[in-house]
Copies of this chain bind each other. A is one copy, B any other.
Amino acid sequence: MLSRPCTYAIRALSYLAMQPPGKLTGSREISGHEDIPNSFLCKILLDLRRKRLLRSYKGTGGGYELALPPEKINLLMIVQAIEGEVSFSGCILEDKECSAHGECALHHSWLELRNQLVNFLETQTLVDLVRTRQARRKKGPKARYQEPVQIKDQMGDLSVKASA
């Protein structure tokens, strides 16, 4: 239903959302825990950075972190970051958009269904994902706060340095 890169992106981001705030996480840690080929993950993370969903820091102690609080990142943003804006706009029966040359047979019911999907993706945020994952992981202590390893601020437009 969702493409492979897309589910990788969702899983990677929700892994990041589970990390203590301020921590930088390396691609290797993510790919290890989420069982995603590392070099492929790197490209996906790059896309996500370009779409401003995460920030990256090079060099020793570098890594990735969410660019927004988890409750501000919904599934639709992720899907669109990976698949591009075009997703969900087409029609069932033909390649082209069908509104242009008269509606296709299923247009209305399909559109309705599609809107529900988009709405679903828009509603579900990273916190929702994390909540369920952590609840399952054990009935353990939830999101114990942990001393941030580093505090950083954004210095470049895309790539930023990892200095305090």
Question: Which secondary structure characterizes the binding site on chain A?
Answer: helix
State the A residues within 8 Å of B (CB): 1-2, 7, 10-11, 14, 88, 90, 92-94, 102-106, 109-110, 113, 116-117, 120, 124, 128-133, 136
Q: Kindly report how many copies of this chain are found in the complex they form together.
A: 2
Considering the complex, give the chain B residue whose CB is closest to the CB of A101: B136
- Cβ–Cβ < 8 Å partners of A128 in chain B: 105-106
Given the interface contacts A2-B92, A94-B7, does A109 sit within 8 Å of B120 by beta carbon? yes
- Cβ–Cβ < 8 Å partners of A10 in chain B: 92-93
Considering the complex, give the chain B residue whose CB is closest to the CB of A119: B113
Given the interface contacts A113-B117, A116-B113, A120-B113, does A105 sit within 8 Å of B133 by beta carbon? yes
